[in-house]
Amino acid sequence: MTQNRKPPSAAVLDRALKAMTAIVGADAVFATDQDRDTYSDRFPVDPKAHRPHAAVAPLTAEEVQAIVRVAAEHKVPLWPISRGKNFGYGTAAPVLAGSIVVDLSRMKKIEIDVENATVLLEPGVGFYDLYDYLQSNKIPLWLSVPGNSWGSVIGNALDRGLGYTPYGEHTRNLCGLEVVLPDGDLVRTGMGAMSKAPTWNLHKYGFGPAWDQLFAQSNFGIVTKAGMWLMPAPECVLGFDVEMDRFEDLEPLIDTIGPLRREGVLQQSPTIGNYFRAANILTTRKQWTDQPGSLSDEVIAAIRKQFGLGWWGVSLRVYGRETVAKANLDILEKALKAIHPMSLKPFEWRPGQPFSPTQGGWMGAPMTFPMQNANWFGGRGGHVGFSPVLPQSGKLCMEQCRRAYARYKEYGMDYQASFAFGERHILNVNSVLLNLDDAAFMAKVDPFLRTLITDAAQHGYGEYRAHIDYMDLISDGYDFNNHALRRLNERVKDALDPAGILAPGKSGIWPKAYRAKEGK
Ligand code: ADP
């Protein structure tokens, strides 16, 4: 990065922080070295690159407005987070080192509309908070949770996180936002723009342009409330756990699931994962091998044997009324048997029955066990995501998989791959597991990720979500008509945020002040 992408001096930042302290109180300002560590990336590729100057934690939208106005006055960069548990994508840390993090985790109001199956949330509400609220009030509504459910329901939806139920594309559940704009104005989107509308969280568009998605993965505003749709509790959850024996079986598996997903026989977001998913949670690498480099075929065979896994596996679930679910299950079973799985285990669950923590994701129960993969190397670990968007084509997914796996082997990384179905696309969510205690290993991570991203872009595959280190590079790949989309984003950014204070660099969108010397 050029020198132009530097925050203001510490003296300017401190003056702004002092004014912010007068707004939120000293107890809600975090500016010691330990605080700066806390708000830094927990799984850093480059530990110094994204260290914030401080964090402030407002309690109300009015306080957020006042903070934004102070930031605009002093021209200091802010980085909003909801709960800041965005592991693998930068955690709580800003793109621009020296930014002031606006931590919204104290804002925890929940307003449920049981009849309409919606909830109006503040950003600090975590998946556990909402789940506990629904359970303890015996409300027959389900949320959809991501693999790390420690974070915020809103924060995850704004970064387009994924879950496992029919409501698994979290950003699609957003309906009606309240947003503080970079000049301190407060706006409600959709029907919420009518002061008395009872339909704010029921109709997604309102009248005129629909703005909700413009606040997802952008730096156009700070969301202080969001309506979300919840799933009416189903009569049953039925399905199959499928294991496929060979590496090449990915192709028929995708070509079998894709049409059923597009047709709506399957309404959840199934995720195909490779053999590695159990080993890196339940064991450490040393238990399998002391050899560096990608896991050998012998180790892969041993892992598969111990856990009874195929090269690929997927859990497919149907939800809703029992008669409909059973009919869909029959269709699913026939289609799966036609591709000769290594194993096909039926799954059945009805309300009131217990379920194991590893099954909770399909029942909308929060979980954190997948984060255990940070312990794969046994010391200080972590992971970074690499997640290109692919078509639902077995052939094209197989080709991308072969290319990526070859790069994992070339760089000596263990291959953790998954293919998560949307309605028309697949998110090829890969993890690169980190060994923060091994400097030689860590030196390979950045070039490895850049190679993966560049390879994918050459085939027209861009990522759906990015770690803060790679936002510029990924945005470079979205290149139609000399980056017309980035230029549009920049024009909107400059109009809404003339002082250039809100999350500079998020999703590769830099305000004018930071672009000036870039020649863009
Ligand atoms: P989680 O705790 O669910 O993992 P985060 O709070 O880390 O989610 O949010 C993920 C990313 O989404 C943040 O880095 C930020 O860029 C964006 N974001 C989160 N909350 C807000 C918000 N309330 N307004 C605007 N952007 C947000």
Q: What is the pLDDT of residues 363-412, one digit of tens each?
A: 999 999 999 999 999 999 999 999 999 999 999 999 999 999 999 999 99
Q: How far is the CA of 138 from the centre of ligand 1 (A)?
A: 29
Lowest-confidence segment of 82-86, 481-485, 506-510, 514-518 by average pLDDT: 514-518
| 383 Cβ closer than 6 Å to some ligand 1 atom | no
Tens digit of each residue's pLDDT (9 = 90 or more) over 432-456: 999 999 999 999 999 999 999 999 9
Percentage with pLDDT > 70 across the chain: 98
Strand spans (E) along 195-267: 222-229, 231-232, 236-244
Ligand 1: nearest atom to the Cα of 89: 14
| 86 Cβ closer than 6 Å to some ligand 1 atom | yes
Catalytic member of 5, 69, 83, 89: 89
Q: How far is the CA of 212 from the centre of ligand 1 (A)?
A: 14
Between 46 and 426, the more confident residue is 426
The length of the chain is 520
Per-residue confidence (pLDDT) for residue 517, from 0 to 100: 55
| 105 Cβ closer than 6 Å to some ligand 1 atom | no
- Phi first, then psi: what are they for 355, rounded to 5°? -145, 155
The angle that helices 439-458 and 394-411 make with each other, rounded to 10 degrees, is 150
Ligand 1: nearest atom to the Cα of 222: 24
Per-residue confidence (pLDDT) for residue 109, from 0 to 100: 98
Q: How far is the CA of 156 from the centre of ligand 1 (A)?
A: 7
Between CA 337 and CA 342, with CA 340 as vertex, the angle to 5 degrees is: 115
Q: Is position 465 annotated as part of the catalytic site?
A: yes
| 151 Cβ closer than 6 Å to some ligand 1 atom | yes
Instruction: Show the 3-state SS of 392-437.
Output: CCHHHHHHHHHHHHHHHHHHCCCCEEEEEECCCEEECCEEEEEECC
Beta-carbon-side half-sphere exposure of residue 106 (alpha carbons within 13 Å): 15
| 156 Cβ closer than 6 Å to some ligand 1 atom | yes
Ligand 1: nearest atom to the Cα of 503: 16
Ligand 1: nearest atom to the Cα of 90: 14
The preferred substitution site among 39, 152, 159 for testing ligand 1, maximizing ligand atoms within 8 Å of CB, is 159
Q: Does pLDDT of 519 surpass 80?
A: no
Q: Do 408 and 415 contact (CB within 8 A), yes or no?
A: yes
Q: Is position 464 annotated as part of the catalytic site?
A: yes
Tens digit of each residue's pLDDT (9 = 90 or more) over 110-119: 999 999 999 9
Q: pLDDT grade, residue 47 (50/70/90)?
A: confident
Per-residue confidence (pLDDT) for residue 520, from 0 to 100: 46
Dist. CA 78–CA 71, nearest whole Å: 7
- Residue with CA at minimum distance from ligand 1 atom 5: 84
- Report the chain's mean pLDDT, rounded to a whole number: 96
Per-residue confidence (pLDDT) for residue 518, from 0 to 100: 54
In 3D space, the residue among 427, 509, 501 whose CA is nearest the CA of residue 476 turns out to be 509
Ligand 1: nearest atom to the Cα of 92: 7
Burial of 283 (0-12, 13-18, 19+ CB in 10 A): middle
In 3D space, the residue among 232, 243, 230, 260 whose CA is nearest the CA of residue 319 turns out to be 232
Catalytic member of 167, 319, 464, 514: 464
Tens digit of each residue's pLDDT (9 = 90 or more) over 188-227: 999 999 999 999 999 999 999 999 999 999 999 999 999 9
Per-residue confidence (pLDDT) for residue 269, from 0 to 100: 87
Q: Does pLDDT of 471 surpass 80?
A: yes
Q: Does pLDDT of 473 surpass 60?
A: yes
DSSP string across 87-148: TTTTTT--SSTTPEEEE-TT---EEEETTTTEEEE-TT-BHHHHHHHHHHTT--EE----SS
Q: Do 311 and 405 contact (CB within 8 A), yes or no?
A: no
| 192 Cβ closer than 6 Å to some ligand 1 atom | no
Tokens 């109180």 correspond to 25
| 80 Cβ closer than 6 Å to some ligand 1 atom | yes
Lowest-confidence segment of 1-5, 268-272, 339-343 by average pLDDT: 1-5
Q: Do 123 and 216 contact (CB within 8 A), yes or no?
A: no
Catalytic member of 465, 470, 486, 514: 465
Q: How far is the CA of 184 from the centre of ligand 1 (A)?
A: 18
Per-residue confidence (pLDDT) for residue 1, from 0 to 100: 44
Tens digit of each residue's pLDDT (9 = 90 or more) over 71-85: 999 999 999 999 999
Dist. CA 228–CA 143, nearest whole Å: 9
Q: Which two tokens stand for residue 366?
A: 């929060």
Ligand 1: nearest atom to the Cα of 82: 6
Per-residue confidence (pLDDT) for residue 474, from 0 to 100: 97
Mean pLDDT over 310-332 rounds to: 98
Q: How far is the CA of 328 from the centre of ligand 1 (A)?
A: 36
| 99 Cβ closer than 6 Å to some ligand 1 atom | no
Q: What is the pTM of this model?
A: 0.96
Between 54 and 44, the more confident residue is 54
Per-residue confidence (pLDDT) for residue 5, from 0 to 100: 85
Beta bridge partners of 105: none
Q: Map residue 313 onto helix, strand or coil.
A: strand
Q: What is the residue type of 370?
A: P
Q: Is position 205 annotated as part of the catalytic site?
A: no
Q: Which two tokens stand for residue 29?
A: 């300002």
